[in-house]
């Protein structure tokens, strides 16, 4: 073997291509490029496997460009890509790598674009066509795409094309191409179905496999946050505020509606955010990505499909707001950061019931995901104060304050005020729109909720003493606690423990904030903080105990008053007795529940 390739000029590429690469600023060929380019230049077929973000585009585009005859204006290279976004991205890459090749033309063709425009563009001619399978088939059938002079075919992101159901179309296209051609197949993974296609249509291919998970992913700092649904938004904004190296983020959610809702909420909180989903027109989607690139936007909230393959180097953070369903999706998602050799951050939100998915991802990627400690309210305030001081120091340093000194001197004289008090008043004014302190909510800080290891169940808490019970009575009397009704009762075999567990886990309400629970035949009442947000209530409405949706709502006065039922029989931990009593009250004592003493 020869020495490893460390510079592009060690590859036998034409001078204009090397000049373009120098201008773009690529220093060394990535491993997949170093391994594939010599084979492709020598005319071999290639079966290339490497993770996303490893530079597969240039691995095929550079040698393809090298072989293009600019004098002939008919398609010599065809690249098939799974989505419109990727087709456009690959076409853009060709354009950049060919910037020193005057007269070069690349044309992306994909569904959704006007046929008339496409036909005109095809008539004008292009050296390289990058298209999605369906649209390429259309044009071959209409004979608007003449591939008689095709010398190179590339199947890009083959596994994705398989996943999206394009494999038959791809085979159809393969059967309609000149037999004398070079074929390169690139994929992040190599499922059997892809391997079969490769064996059928590639001639004695050189197989190049770049070991997964180490090259790109090791530059991505992966962390997870244990957080329940209703607290995710607060957690997200807190993370955005305190991450030191934040530049731009892609936030992944599961549904199209969630992209819209979350983007709106972030916008309302002052972030330059927008959504990206499959319902948006191609034009809109491209605009969003362009705005992310040019810093008009800092946050894009996206679904997996819409964000596939996005390549915006300034993305410093990928937030998995909703955990992905499988490891592959996770790897694709976090590959949107740490691009082009930069460091990246991936933060995964894990709801209590999703812990197994976290472990599954860790196992499959063979990389531990670190626990992220959410900073406390105080830590956030400290950070804001530090930034404020910095700003003040900069003004003191750089600005001419003569006029303002006079204004202050005037105030001092007129109000006979202490100069410190005046300064404090000004600081108050300066932070009014973006307060330095985080508001007290009366609820536990999400930093506490998010701390610590995943808890599959509500934690056993210290026993409540009589004083705490009295305090809770007072909270109830004074309206800090309210009584809610849930549609789960004894006939559903529910125990107070089940109910506390569900409420604690689903809504992230610590069990010490959950008061008295009264079980009735087909419903129960439970004391919870009176100021539960709508988000929390919505989650609790859907939460289930023993297969039964809680459907939580404020108890009506009659239900609320029914708390003084007779104490039920059976001691701590006793199984539910049959036949069920009509009603019974329990005062919670630690993790267990004891029959409530009749009130005296």
- What residue ranges bind ligand ADP (CB under 6 A)? 26, 29-30, 33, 50, 52-58, 311, 313, 339-341
**Smaller CB separation from ligand ADP, 311 or 498:** 311
Which of Mg ion, ligand ADP, none has residue 58 at its interface (CB below 5 to 8 Å by kind)? Answer: ligand ADP
**Smaller CB separation from ligand ADP, 58 or 79:** 58
CA-CA distances (angstroms) from residue 264 to 217, 277, 352?
Answer: 31, 14, 26
**Smaller CB separation from ligand ADP, 247 or 475:** 247
For 302, the 3-state DSSP assignment is: strand
**Smaller CB separation from ligand ADP, 30 or 518:** 30
Beta carbon of residue 348, minimum distance to ligand ADP (angstroms, whole number): 21
For 456, the 3-state DSSP assignment is: coil
**Smaller CB separation from ligand ADP, 131 or 375:** 131
Beta carbon of residue 471, minimum distance to ligand ADP (angstroms, whole number): 58
SS3 content of the chain, % helix, strand, coil (to 5): 45, 15, 40
Which of Mg ion, ligand ADP, none has residue 30 at its interface (CB below 5 to 8 Å by kind)? Answer: ligand ADP
**Smaller CB separation from ligand ADP, 59 or 436:** 59
Beta carbon of residue 208, minimum distance to ligand ADP (angstroms, whole number): 12
Which of ligand ADP, Mg ion, none has residue 298 at its interface (CB below 5 to 8 Å by kind)? Answer: none
Distance CA 176, CA 147 (A): 9
Q: What are the backbone dihedrals phi and psi of residue 16, each rounded to the nearest 5 degrees, phi first? A: -60, -30
**Smaller CB separation from Mg ion, 81 or 450:** 81
**Of 115, 163, 112, which is closest to residue 279 (Cα–Cα)?**
112
Beta carbon of residue 97, minimum distance to Mg ion (angstroms, whole number): 14
Distance CA 530, CA 476 (A): 9
**Smaller CB separation from ligand ADP, 48 or 496:** 48
For 248, the 3-state DSSP assignment is: strand
8 Å CB contact between 14 and 66? yes
**Of 319, 314, 266, which is closest to residue 290 (Cα–Cα)?**
314
Which of Mg ion, ligand ADP, none has residue 584 at its interface (CB below 5 to 8 Å by kind)? Answer: none
Site for Mg ion in 388-407 (CB under 5 A): none
**Token pair in block for residue 408:** 């202050």
Beta strand 524-529 with 592-595 is unpaired
**Smaller CB separation from Mg ion, 39 or 56:** 56
CA dihedral 491, 494, 496, 500 (to 10 degrees): -140
Site for Mg ion in 336-355 (CB under 5 A): none
Which of Mg ion, ligand ADP, none has residue 320 at its interface (CB below 5 to 8 Å by kind)? Answer: none
Beta carbon of residue 51, minimum distance to ligand ADP (angstroms, whole number): 7
Which of Mg ion, ligand ADP, none has residue 339 at its interface (CB below 5 to 8 Å by kind)? Answer: ligand ADP
Beta carbon of residue 262, minimum distance to Mg ion (angstroms, whole number): 27
Distance CA 424, CA 440 (A): 21
User: For residue 183, what are the β-bridge partners?
Assistant: 153
Q: What are the backbone dihedrals phi and psi of residue 527, each rounded to the nearest 5 degrees, phi first? A: -90, 130
**Smaller CB separation from ligand ADP, 29 or 501:** 29
Beta carbon of residue 56, minimum distance to Mg ion (angstroms, whole number): 5
536's CB contacts (< 8 A; 6+ apart) are 230, 507, 509
Which of Mg ion, ligand ADP, none has residue 490 at its interface (CB below 5 to 8 Å by kind)? Answer: none
Which of Mg ion, ligand ADP, none has residue 26 at its interface (CB below 5 to 8 Å by kind)? Answer: ligand ADP
Which of Mg ion, ligand ADP, none has residue 108 at its interface (CB below 5 to 8 Å by kind)? Answer: none
Q: What are the backbone dihedrals phi and psi of residue 47, each rounded to the nearest 5 degrees, phi first? A: -115, 100
Site for Mg ion in 5-64 (CB under 5 A): 56
Site for Mg ion in 54-113 (CB under 5 A): 56
Beta carbon of residue 282, minimum distance to Mg ion (angstroms, whole number): 19
142's CB contacts (< 8 A; 6+ apart) are none
Which of ligand ADP, Mg ion, none has residue 340 at its interface (CB below 5 to 8 Å by kind)? Answer: ligand ADP
For 171, the 3-state DSSP assignment is: helix
Which of ligand ADP, Mg ion, none has residue 303 at its interface (CB below 5 to 8 Å by kind)? Answer: none
Site for Mg ion in 279-318 (CB under 5 A): none
8 Å CB contact between 97 and 21? yes
Which of Mg ion, ligand ADP, none has residue 220 at its interface (CB below 5 to 8 Å by kind)? Answer: none
Kindly determine how many residues on this chain lie close enough to bind Mg ion according to the rule CB under 5 A.
1
363's CB contacts (< 8 A; 6+ apart) are none
For 42, the 3-state DSSP assignment is: coil
Beta carbon of residue 85, minimum distance to Mg ion (angstroms, whole number): 11
**Smaller CB separation from ligand ADP, 181 or 339:** 339
Residue nearest to Mg ion (CB): 56
Beta carbon of residue 373, minimum distance to Mg ion (angstroms, whole number): 35
Beta carbon of residue 27, minimum distance to ligand ADP (angstroms, whole number): 6
Beta carbon of residue 268, minimum distance to ligand ADP (angstroms, whole number): 32
List of E strands, 200-305: 206-209, 220-226, 248-252, 273-276, 299-302
8 Å CB contact between 121 and 82? no
Please spell the DSSP secondary structure of 86-112, one letter per residue.
HHHHHHHHHHHHTTTSTT--EEEE-TT
**Smaller CB separation from Mg ion, 93 or 122:** 93
Binding residues vs Mg ion (CB under 5 A): 56
């Amino acid at each position: 073997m020869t020495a490893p390739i460390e510079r592009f000029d060690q590859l036998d590429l034409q001078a204009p291509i090397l000049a373009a690469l120098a201008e773009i600023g690529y220093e060394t060929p990535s491993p997949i490029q170093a391994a594939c380019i010599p084979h492709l230049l020598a005319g071999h077929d290639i079966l290339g496997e490497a993770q996303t973000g490893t530079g597969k585009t240039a691995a095929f585009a550079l040698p393809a460009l090298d072989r293009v005859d600019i004098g002939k204006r008919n398609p010599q290279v065809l690249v098939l890509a799974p989505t419109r976004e990727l087709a456009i991205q690959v076409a853009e890459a060709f354009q950049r790598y060919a910037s020193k090749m005057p007269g070069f033309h690349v044309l992306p063709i994909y569904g959704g674009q006007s046929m008339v425009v496409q036909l005109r563009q095809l008539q004008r001619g292009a050296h390289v066509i990058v298209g999605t399978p369906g649209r390429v088939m259309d044009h071959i059938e209409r004979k608007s795409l003449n591939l008689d002079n095709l010398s190179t075919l590339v199947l890009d992101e083959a596994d994705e094309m398989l996943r999206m159901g394009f494999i038959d179309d791809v085979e159809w296209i393969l059967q309609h191409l000149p037999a004398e051609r070079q074929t390169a197949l690139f994929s992040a993974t190599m499922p059997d179905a892809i391997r079969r296609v490769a064996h059928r249509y590639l001639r004695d291919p050189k197989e190049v496999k770049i070991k997964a998970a180490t090259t790109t992913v090791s530059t991505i700092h992966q962390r997870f946050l244990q957080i329940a649904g209703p607290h995710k938004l607060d957690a997200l904004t807190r993370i955005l505020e305190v991450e030191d190296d934040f530049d731009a983020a892609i936030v992944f959610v599961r549904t199209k509606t969630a992209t819209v809702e979350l983007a709106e909420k972030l916008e309302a909180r002052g972030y330059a955010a927008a959504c990206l989903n499959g319902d948006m027109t191609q034009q809109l989607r491209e605009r969003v990505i362009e705005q992310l690139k040019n810093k008009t936007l800092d946050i894009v909230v996206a679904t997996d499909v819409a964000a596939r393959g996005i390549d915006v180097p300034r993305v410093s953070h990928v937030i998995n707001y909703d955990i992905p369903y499988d490891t592959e999706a996770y790897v694709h998602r976090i590959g949107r950061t740490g691009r082009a050799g930069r460091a990246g951050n991936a933060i995964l939100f894990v709801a209590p019931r999703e812990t197994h998915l976290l472990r599954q991802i860790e196992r499959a990627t063979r990389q531990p995901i670190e626990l992220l400690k959410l900073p406390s309210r105080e830590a956030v305030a400290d950070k804001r104060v530090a930034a404020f001081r910095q700003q003040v120091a900069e003004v003191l340093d750089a600005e001419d304050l003569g006029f303002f000194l006079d204004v202050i001197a005037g105030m001092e004289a007129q109000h006979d005020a202490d100069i410190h008090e005046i300064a404090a008043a000004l600081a108050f004014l300066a932070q009014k729109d973006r307060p330095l302190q985080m508001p007290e909510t009366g609820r536990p800080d999400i930093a506490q909720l998010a701390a610590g290891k995943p808890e599959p169940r509500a934690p056993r808490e210290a026993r409540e003493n009589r004083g705490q019970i009295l305090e809770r009575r007072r909270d109830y009397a004074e309206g800090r606690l309210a009584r809610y009704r849930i549609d789960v009762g004894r006939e559903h075999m529910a125990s107070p423990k089940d109910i506390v567990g569900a409420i604690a886990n689903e809504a992230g309400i610590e069990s010490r904030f959950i008061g008295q629970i009264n079980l009735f035949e087909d419903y129960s009442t439970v004391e919870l903080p009176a100021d539960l947000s709508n988000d929390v209530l919505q989650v609790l409405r859907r939460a289930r105990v023993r297969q039964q949706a809680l459907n939580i709502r404020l108890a009506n006065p009659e239900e609320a008053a029914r708390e003084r039922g007779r104490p039920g029989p059976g001691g701590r931990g006793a199984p539910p007795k049959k036949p069920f009593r009509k009603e019974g009250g329990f005062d919670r004592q630690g993790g267990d529940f004891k029959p409530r003493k009749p009130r005296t």
